[in-house]
Amino acid sequence: MDASALEDAVPLPVAIELWSQWMRAQAAKIGRVSALLVSHNCFRSDLPVLSCEMGRVGSSFYVPTFFFDSLLLLRYALRGRGLQDYSLQGLSQSLTRSSSAPQSHRALSDALRLASVLTATGVSPQGLVGQLGYIPLTALDGIGVST
């Protein structure tokens, strides 16, 4: 990490408060009172980590916030198409024919990559949502989406 990134850093509780304020403003712009955050492999990765870290520092979002896992959606919606790699990078290469290689596991590049994958598939996001503090049963080995 370079020094300039550290100069702009804020403590996690402040970052969560700023993020929450931004989400509330975005929701208000479209007449909503809740937020939906979409990420790839959310239920096994992003949601548990975020829940743990927010609990650790005693923070929470100011708006009802729901989480959606695009990995589950795309595995179901794209079944039978012969895809072997459902990672975000694999789907991006298969579906968008993108020759650029943005950094993986970086928030902005992953968000842009996910947006391009969802646009390329034309799949409407619908399915299970989660909340902080809860892990959907689909994330547990041996239970999965067949339940």
Which tens digit of pLDDT belongs to each residue from 43-95? 888 888 898 998 999 988 888 899 998 988 888 888 888 888 888 888 888 88
Specify the residue for token string 């975000």.
88
Please name which of 25, 45, 48, 29 lies closest in space to residue 110, comparing C-alpha atoms.
45
Task: Report the first-to-last Cα separation within the chain, whole angstroms.
Answer: 42
Other beta carbons within 10 Å of 117: 24
CA dist 39 and 88 (Å) reads: 10
Amino acid at 42: C
Calculate mean pLDDT across residues 2-11.
75
User: What is the pairing mode between strands 65-69 and 35-39?
Assistant: parallel
pLDDT bracket for residue 124 (50, 70, 90): confident
CA dist 18 and 33 (Å) reads: 17
In this model, does residue 132 exceed pLDDT 60? yes
Predicted structure pTM score: 0.78
Each residue's pLDDT tens digit, 29-42: 999 999 999 988 88
- For 137, residues 6+ apart whose C-beta sits below 8 A from its C-beta are 143, 147
Specify the pLDDT at position 122: 87
